[in-house]
Structure formats: C-alpha cells, structure tokens
Chain A
C-alpha cells in the first residue's frame, strides 16, 4: 500500500492563495509522477497538473496555466500545489495521486484529500 498524506483543510479569502502539500514514500519520488486532481461537491474530478519530482518537470491543464504552480521538495519527499487569485469556484477537495511519469492519467494511489474553502 502506497500512502500519500496531505495537509489539512484550509479556509481562504477570495483573492488570496493556498498551498497544499502531499508527502509520499521514497520510491514514489524517484520512480513516479504526482498529479493533482480537484473535485467540487457533486462534480466530476478535474485534473490540474503533474510533476515528475526527480526531474522537476511539470505539466498543467490549460485552464490552470498561470494560476497554479506545482513543486516538489526531494529532501522531504513532499509535493505542493499552490493556487493563486482564489475565487469561490476554487472551493473543492484537492487530491494528490501517484501517476506514471511518461503520460499523465494513471492514478493508482491517492492522498486523502484536502478541503479548500474560499469564503468571504
């Protein structure tokens, strides 16, 4: 079992930023990618982007280009997603998931999810 552990729930004001973390086992960082997927209540999951930690290479969904940054700290085996200029529409559960390095889209292990609430 591969355990991805995410940071806790956040409440943010519109216009602010949020940074969510995802701690992964060592082999995930050296051999896999980590993708970020968010899900608003009652809606389908939405892929946001991914990082190959050993290379630092990132890919983003076009919708989030310029507003989302994914990073990875190899020393702590932790991946991060930062979302800026938050709006009410960014209220969602944010998941990290282990992914294949070559092609995004094989999410075989997931974090527990982090609820981000954007509220005035």
Chain B
C-alpha cells in the first residue's frame, strides 16, 4: 500500500489566515491525489481532485498543488465554516488516505 503522511496533524488559525497543509506519498503518485473536508458526524466532501482541480461548487479560496510525492493544500483566507478535518487521498494504487489535519479556531 502507498502510505500518505500529512502534516501538521492539527493547527489553530484565525479567520482570514492563510492555512497550508502538506501531504507526502511513500512513492511517486503523479497527480493522482484528492483533498477532502470532513466535519464531525458527516461524510467527507471532495474539494480538490487530481492534485489541483477545484471540484464544482467549492469556493475558490481552496487550492491544491504538487506532483510526485509532495503535495500542498491551501486555504487562502480561513472562514468560520472551514473549521474541519482535512484529508489527502491517493489513487495511483488502491486508495489510501492521509492521517488528517484538524483545523481549529484560534
């Protein structure tokens, strides 16, 4: 299995802050990487697919970049509704998820 390592595991930020999360794959995966947002008691929601493509209906403050083994997810200006846990997920091989980043309000 391809292992996905996210960092940090949690962070605190204020409304308006720029938030950056990184994800590293244990081997090269091209751009076969997605990012999801999950709120408590809810299913994950797809935000970014193929490393950098914004899913339809997702606000443009969310973005992703990277290829190979290193990827970055950014929220350009944190909003209150963005408080959630974020997961990366690869699908170059059978799908595996990163350990998650919990974004909390400072």
Contacts and interface: CB of A to CB of B under 8 A. Distances in A.
Interface size class of A (residues with CB under 8 A): 20 to 34
Categorize the interface residue count of chain B: 20 to 34
B97 interface: yes
A47 B95 contact: yes
A59 B94 CA distance: 9
Interface in A67-120: 95, 97, 103-108, 110-113
A46 interface: yes
Nearest to A45: B97
Most buried by B among A46, A62, A108, A112: A108
Interface string B62-92: 0000000000000000000000000101110
A104 B87 contact: no
Most buried by B among A47, A103, A105, A112: A105
Contacts of B42: 113
Contacts, number: 53
A44 B44 contact: no
Contact of B46 (A103, A104, A108): A108
A112 B43 contact: yes
A104 B95 contact: yes
B104 to A, nearest CB: 15
A9 interface: no
Contacts of B90: 105
B61 to A, nearest CB: 20
B97 A46 contact: yes
A61 interface: yes
Interface string A26-39: 00000000010000
23 contacts: A44-B87, A44-B98, A44-B100, A45-B87, A45-B97, A47-B94, A62-B1, A95-B43, A103-B32, A103-B91, A104-B94, A105-B89, A105-B91, A105-B95, A106-B34, A107-B36, A107-B89, A108-B46, A108-B49, A108-B55, A110-B45, A112-B43, A113-B43
